[in-house]
Amino acid sequence: MKTFEYDILFFKVKKQKDYGEMRRVLNERGAEGWEVINAEAGDYGYTTFLKRETGTMKAASE
Going from the C-alpha of 52 to that of each of 18, 49, 55, the distances in angstroms are 25, 11, 9
* Residue range(s) defining the domain that contains residue 22: 4-53
| pTM for this entry | 0.81
Q: What is the pLDDT of residue 61?
A: 67
Residue at 40 is within a domain: yes
Residue pLDDT, tens place only, 8-56: 999 998 888 889 999 999 999 999 999 999 999 998 899 999 999 998 7
Q: What is the pLDDT of residue 60?
A: 66
Alpha helices in 1-62 (DSSP H): 16-31
What's the number of domains the chain is made of?
1
Residue at 61 is within a domain: no
Q: What is the pLDDT of residue 62?
A: 62
Q: What is the pLDDT of residue 29?
A: 98
